[in-house]
Amino acid sequence: MNFSSKLLETAVAEFAKLPGIGQKTALRLVLNLLNQDKEEVERFAGSISKLRNEVQFCGVCHNISDAALCEICASPKRNHQLICVVEDTRDVMAIENTSQYNGLYHVLGGLISPMDGIGPGDLKISSLVERIKNTDVNEVIFAVSATMEGDTTIFYLHKKLKEFTLKISTIARGIAFGGELEYVDEITLGRSIATRVLYENSLR
């Protein structure tokens, strides 16, 4: 692409770094910004910089949060004996949208994937074990994708949690997780949480 301005070229290159954004789309977005009020663009740039600088991860569940403890972990209205283990923040958002779940979460930050060099040590697994050890949690629900990585992660976690007196369940597998949840309708997802099965039974 030949640009008439170095500033334009730089801005397009920055946008094109985002996933799913090609050069053409980047150019369209940048030209759109140029047509907006300066104040509007200021606000846009400010919100991105504020997001990156101020956003935190909850010290308990590792979900994206505005404070050291997220609103879900801090809420006395939630069932603190129930933890739903998910791959990332998008899964928390999808499950919250169903309004069918009232427990807490634990965001692993990925799944075990030897092919990609991601081992248990790269995920928030030890903090999950600590949580269970130090609180009166009585059920853990695995809500991760029915992929090889999901299966490996559940198998590993199940082994780790075996020593605790704990109900371990999984949601109906076949539900796409890890960012693909946005394609699952809320009723299906809500129902799969309500009808979760004991992990041992899900292996049959």
What are the tokens at 146?
């029915």
Q: Does residue 60 bind Zn ion (CB under 5 A)?
A: yes
Smallest separation, CB 14 to Zn ion (Å) = 32
Q: Which is nearer to Zn ion, 103 or 150 (by Cβ)?
A: 103
Which residues, 69 to 88, sit near Zn ion by CB under 5 A? 70, 73
Q: Which two tokens stand for residue 110?
A: 């990925």
Please report whether residue 143 would count as binding Zn ion according to CB under 5 A.
no
CB of 176 to Zn ion, least distance (A): 24
Q: Does 58 bind Zn ion (CB under 5 A)?
A: yes
- Give the residue with the Cβ less far from Zn ion, 70 or 193: 70
Give bridge partners of residue 169 from the DSSP assignment.
141, 198
128 binds Zn ion, rule: CB under 5 A: no
- Binding residue (CB under 5 A) for Zn ion from 12, 26, 27, 61: 61
Amino acid at 92: V
The interface mask with Zn ion, positions 8-47, x = CB under 5 A, is ----------------------------------------
Residue 125 near Zn ion by CB under 5 A: no
Number of shown-chain residues binding Zn ion (CB under 5 A): 6
Asked if 101 and 159 count as a contact pair (C-beta separation under 8 A), the reply is: no
Give the footprint of Zn ion on this chain (CB under 5 A): 58, 60-61, 63, 70, 73
